[in-house]
Structure 1
Amino acid sequence: MTIKLDYQTVKNLKAPGRYTDALVKGLHIWVKPNGTKYAIFRYNYNNKQHNISLGSFPSLSISEARIKAQQYRDQIDSGVNPMDIKNTAKKQSEQVQAQKLTFREFAAECIKTKRAEWTNQKHGDQWEYTLEEFAYPIIGDKHLDEITMEDVLEILTPIWTTKTETASRLRGRLEWILAAATTRKLRSGINPAQWKNYLQTILPAPNKVKKVVHHKALPYRQVPELIANLREMTTMTSLALEFTILNASRTGEVIEGLRTEVMGDIWTIPASRMKARKEHRVPLCQRSLDILAIAKAMDDESKYLFSVKGKKLTNMAMPMMLRRAKVDATVHGFRSSFRDWVSEETNHPSEVAEMALAHTIGNKVEAAYRRKDLLEKRRSLLVDWESYCSIPAQNNIHELKVA
């Protein structure tokens, strides 16, 4: 049926069917059985019929439909198939969409770039861990220009008051990555992770909710059982964790450790890797030497004490092992376990324990007198600690509960 289409006429159409516009050749209104109405441009090109959807009525007005239909009619008159142009435009749009980086992809590029300015590998590991743990599950696969403040709040809100320091640092990392995306014109508008005059109007200030929390330490009486479990695993991470515990070392000291630093039964950690910026000698007990031999056999060509295919363990390898084992403690906390054991179970002098932990001496007078590193006394201490940690593995002792 050919009629002059206008708003009121189309609005009153009830019977399903196709209604042809009297003014623009090829423009039709199709009325579906359910009452919905669509503007269609219908034409023949090289003896083949084509239909191009223009939009639904009344979202698309009749005048707008005529303009679109006439543009297609002009293309036909100039020898061009409108469907070819439409398909080409669609492909270009799909290619542009495919070229859009996801947040995960762009964040990886940013971390790779920033590693050049970080003197400590730990920073990069922390960036990767916090993004992987908290951000990627929510925005990892989103395109950069799709990320909103609501997304950022979904990431931060669950941990803002329980893991405030981590959440605050993560917010800063998100802001930096999204700012870099804006600079590269991969997104526009306000940075959804911006704090000043933006998120600060919604989230409480970190310094108002932050609580000072000490590193969680496993009670020293539970350490032997953990050591026994680690020895059953015999993975590179379990070896590194046991070595760290036996020597009351810090994570960075161990994962950055080089085989060339071990001479005989002495491991010399350079000042650059020590918190106090002072070289530290560690007397290695027999189990520590055995651990290093096993680690070398597992990755013979590596320069690191602990590595996989020549690559040192990440800063998060040991914490993640503790998490998977459901051990409610931090790697650093085992230094406290060691210190508690020394105080409560041994007669070793306090200054020997402090030196084993490579703690800075606050008293300048005491520091001046304590010029030697008490190596042999520390060796005796660490041998006793190794013996204590090895009790379950050697004697298979079980705690019996009296009924």
Structure 2
Amino acid sequence: MKAKVTVKNYLTLPDGFYTAAPNLLYVVRGNTRRFVFRYMVDGKRRDKSIGPVSKVDLTQAKSTAKEFLGRLASGLPLTQSTKERLAEEYSRVEIPSFKSFAEQTIEKIKEVKRWRSNKTYANTVQYFNSYVYPVIGNKRIDEIKRADVVAVLEPIWSAKNQTALKIRTRLESILAYAVNEGYLEFNCALWKGNLDQYLPPPSKVRTVKHHISMPLEELQEKLKCFLPANNRTRQLILFTILTACRVGETAGAKWSEFNFEERVWSIPPERRKDSKPYPHRVPLSDQVVELLNSIERKGEYVFAVRDTLG
């Protein structure tokens, strides 16, 4: 009678074939010790190697043999390809809806891209609530196809092209995450070689209407409304007009940013809308210098009523 295979003795058993568990053989030949799963297919005996003891211990071998028996009972092959195994594991995971995935991803993008303005985030949420989620919000993220993206964009592509372009850009970013996380194989919101085959070029569907510049005579007349510049509001408006800058740049102006000797105002990078990493240098005209000299310095900010803008 052959010895029983146990955790304590299986590494010291002499040469031979041993039954370690139902359908599980333990084969010892010289320095070779391995586990084999033995089964029958169409009346023929088959052996499937589970592995040597250097890679598989007795507990693992018993677990694998039990799994193999279960697969045979279900009519499944004993082993799976990597693709089949990943597909089976993937099927066990609860797949989020597009809306759930998008909401989480927008938060990630906000942090990664370092959106400085809350308006960018608010507009993105509004666009998706209005135009995206009603169309594909309830679909699983792994079911999103090009046709779904087209279904979102097509109704507004001509009538609201600027909005549609922003939505497409956000969709492309979100679906890039879906590709990287294994939910999709292809980013179906890409434009080139993809959506450009189904939607007309933006330049063909929108007409850019630039604001007509105000004639100098009319501007001079309008400026009289802000004269005399005897309060911070009027001073800020005049300063913004004279420097041709954005309010976001002028309202936060600090005295330390002005070089009156060189007549240059250096707007720091953090207040630049274009996010360029160097200061925006604005030349100071005689009128700007005169306006600045008329302002009483009450703190570090030029247009603050108190010591701070708050």
Same fold at TM > 0.5: no
TM-score (norm 2): 0.43
Structure ranking higher on relative contact order (CA contacts 8 Å, 6+ apart): 1
